[in-house]
Amino acid sequence: MLVLGAGGAGLCAALHAADASPALSIAVVVKGLLGRAGCTRMVQGGYNAVLGEPDSLDAHFLDTLAGGGWINDQELVWMLVSEAPRRVLELEWRYGCLFDRTPDGRIHQKPFAGQTHDRTIHKGDLTGIEIMNRLAEQVAARPNVRAVEECRALELLLDDEGRAAGALGLDIRAGRVVAFRARATLLAMGGGPTMYKVIACSSDKSADGVALAYRAGLPLRDMEMVQFHPTGLIVPGSLMTGALLEEGLRGAGGHLRNGLGERFMARYDPARMERSTRDLVARASYLEVVEGRGTPNGGVWIDVSHLGAELVERNFRGMVRRCRDFGRDLARGPIEVGPTTHFMMGGVVIDPACRTAIEGLFAAGEDTGGVHGANRLGGNGVAESTVFGGIAGDAMAAFVTGRRAPRLATVALEAAARPYLQPCERATAPGGPSLYDLQRELRALMWERVGLVRDADSLARALGEIERIDHRLDEVGVPGGPSFNIAWQDWLNVRNQTMVARLIVLSALERRESRGAHYRRDFPAEAPAALYSVRVAERHGAPAVWTEPVALTRVTRPATAGTPAMVEIGD
């Protein structure tokens, strides 16, 4: 069994499969180092799960649908909310995670935006480090799990009948192409919208999993839905610009103020104010700056100093330290922040058992679409990855029982590897394009034309520029030998980023309405027609884009404000 990716989804999948079938051989392929790479480790805020009254599974379910603009896959959402409590207990009792407790010994749950109850479980503001450290320890203790570090997946491999057969990879250390043959393969590579200029996600991400899925012909959904977190640090001249100050600050009672000192959320969501959803708060911050009410460096202020320095330093140690590294004191004064690109809600279409349209290929975590709809609630991300990672591991262990290993032809492997070797075999012509100039152009283009506010003209221009960048990449060579060639790795990153950027733009052009994270100034309202998801897939060498109605399998959306009509909430 092959697991591509080693974040929360990949490691939970490996552990579940290893424990379900101890005789099964499992390879976990990670682009960086096991337990040290990716986005799960960066999670500050926490993990949403219902642990008792007055909260309920129904409430978590409806909060997630409302936050997602009602275009979520309701079966996936129900799987998330119903399995999350069991997965939290598994993380503590089976894998050794220790979450913060109340004075009476219960797991502490703090408030997060867009939620009707305090349900976010955490380890201070360093929750991801706790989860990843324990999961990595457990993987190391399983003799039938092998980590393949500093190896990136290049292409999914299929057998003669179109079934998943493993993946083509690149050993970054040795600089050689390798083939992994497997009876079942999991895509859990973590998405990552790093094709934007300002990012909060791990910089080693480049939407590789989504790019692999697209090249394999899999349908993707809702690629236009890219989340911009409202509170990324602004540190002029530093790559730390965009690094998160987590949502718990707003949940605890933090205030957002514009450059005039106004609590501007009163203009956009007077009922919830700073506890409004990420899409709305990020867009509000953006509009304040555009309309001339921003801070000196083009952002807004977040201020938690009124909560008391002792409370802030105790509850938000990681963020206090991060701010002090740049000469700012979160506990005693306002911090300059702005929107930062954070998460991809869109991705591979899966069913509740994490199966894709290709037999033997599974997907979990940020590589998939449907769970979050048009906007992800804070705390639902790490819950999604661990819940569906575990589900995938169980499903894969059952799937491989009695199945033979696929056969792969050497000639086909050589042909698949050829395009990825070409940059090392050519030199950039004098005066030719610079890889890093193209990378900067792509990031600026996506931020300015495919960002928080979009329209048809900007999107169409972006599409033309992306295609130009893609063509120019074919003229770029990378110097040096193949071993640990960073330029080669960056070329592969930009290739995938460019491909996925094109899919984002095409999907954004198709959705002629505003919903969740997708805001069109030329279509500023939600469409009155039926709810739909945007689909895109590779067909005959080009992207095909279409829409499909959202299946309201469990609840119907209310026509006006009020309680949705329940259809079937239950196991």
Write down the pLDDT at residue 568: 43
Q: Which residue has the higher pLDDT, 478 or 39?
A: 478
Please, how many CA atoms are within 13 Å of residue 233, restricted to the half-sphere of its CB?
A: 25
DSSP string, 135-173: HHHHHHT-TTEEEE-SEEEEEEEE-TTS-EEEEEEEETT
Write down the pLDDT at residue 295: 93
Domain with CATH 3.50.50.60 in the chain: 2-45+65-98+124-225+342-400
What percent of the chain clears pLDDT 90, i.e. is strictly above it?
78
Catalytic choice (16, 152, 250, 443): 250
Q: Tell me the residue type at 555.
A: V
Q: Which residue has the higher pLDDT, 529 or 333?
A: 333
**Which residue in 480, 470, 388 sits closest to 435, CA to CA?**
470
Q: Which residue has the higher pLDDT, 451 or 564?
A: 451
pTM score, whole prediction: 0.94
Neighbouring residues of 63: CB distance < 8 A, sequence distance ≥ 6: 114, 115, 116, 377
Write down the pLDDT at residue 86: 97
User: Does 567 have pLDDT greater than 70?
Assistant: no
Write down the pLDDT at residue 227: 92
Domain with CATH 3.90.700.10 in the chain: 229-340
Write down the pLDDT at residue 536: 98
Task: Report the topology of domain 229-340.
Answer: Flavocytochrome C3; Chain A, domain 1 (3.90.700)
Write down the pLDDT at residue 570: 38
Write down the pLDDT at residue 560: 53
Torsion angle of alpha carbons 459, 462, 467, 470, nearest 10°?
-130
> Whole-angstrom Cα distance, residue 495 to residue 436?
12
Q: What Rg value do the Cα atoms of the chain yield, rounded? A: 23
Write out the two tokens for 559: 């026509």
* Parallel, antiparallel or unpaired: strands 335-344 and 226-233: antiparallel
Hey, which of 33-47, 270-284, 402-416 has the most confident mean pLDDT? 270-284
Neighbouring residues of 192: CB distance < 8 A, sequence distance ≥ 6: 39, 201, 202, 205, 206, 207, 344, 366
Band (pLDDT 50/70/90 cuts) for residue 559 is: low
DSSP string, 167-210: EEEEETTTTEEEEEE-SSEEE------TTSSSB-S-TT--SHHH
Write out the two tokens for 338: 């702005």
> Whole-angstrom Cα distance, residue 97 to residue 11?
14
Span 160-165, average pLDDT = 92
User: Does 528 have pLDDT greater than 90?
Assistant: no
Write down the pLDDT at residue 561: 47
Band (pLDDT 50/70/90 cuts) for residue 410 is: confident
Catalytic choice (16, 229, 322, 520): 229
Q: Which residue has the higher pLDDT, 43 or 450?
A: 450
* Parallel, antiparallel or unpaired: strands 26-29 and 145-148: parallel
Q: Report the DSSP beta bridge partners of residue 205.
A: none
Contacts 24+ apart (CB under 8 A), 94-99: 95/15, 95/134, 95/135, 95/137, 95/138, 96/134, 96/137, 96/138, 97/123, 97/130, 97/131, 97/134, 98/123, 98/130, 99/47, 99/123, 99/127, 99/130
Residue-wise pLDDT for 272-295, tens only, equals 999 898 889 999 999 999 999 999
Write down the pLDDT at residue 42: 75
Write down the pLDDT at residue 204: 87
Write down the pLDDT at residue 107: 95
Residue-wise pLDDT for 101-150, tens only, equals 999 999 999 888 889 999 999 998 889 899 999 999 999 999 999 999 99
**Which residue in 403, 388, 245, 258 sits closest to 324, CA to CA?**
245
Residue-wise pLDDT for 56-95, tens only, equals 999 999 999 999 999 999 999 999 999 999 999 999 999 9
Residue 518 is among the residues annotated as catalytic for this protein:
no
547 touches 258 (CB < 8 A): no
175 touches 70 (CB < 8 A): no
54 preceded by a cis bond (ω within 30 of 0) = yes
Residue-wise pLDDT for 427-456, tens only, equals 888 888 999 999 999 999 999 999 999 999
DSSP string, 334-366: -EEEEEEEEEE--EE---TT-B-SSTTEEE-GG
Neighbouring residues of 358: CB distance < 8 A, sequence distance ≥ 6: 156, 158, 162, 163, 164, 216, 217, 218
Q: Is the dihedral of CA 173, 176, 182, 187 positive or negative?
A: positive
Residue 40 φ/ψ, nearest 5 degrees: -60, -40
Please state, rounded to an integer, the average pLDDT across all residues of the chain: 92
User: Does 193 have pLDDT greater than 50?
Assistant: yes
* Among the ranges given (112-126, 157-171, 388-402), the one the predictor scored with the smallest mean pLDDT: 112-126
Distance of CA 368 to the CA centre of its chain: 9
Residue 16 is among the residues annotated as catalytic for this protein:
no
> Could you tell me the strand order of the sheet in which 176-181 lies?
151-158, 164-171, 176-181
Write out the two tokens for 20: 């379900």
Span 293-304, average pLDDT = 93
Residue-wise pLDDT for 364-378, tens only, equals 999 999 999 999 998
Write down the pLDDT at residue 112: 86
Q: Tell me the residue type at 113.
A: A
Residue 91 φ/ψ, nearest 5 degrees: -60, -40
Write down the pLDDT at residue 211: 97
366 touches 344 (CB < 8 A): yes
Q: Which CATH superfamily is domain 2-45+65-98+124-225+342-400 in?
A: FAD/NAD(P)-binding domain (3.50.50.60)
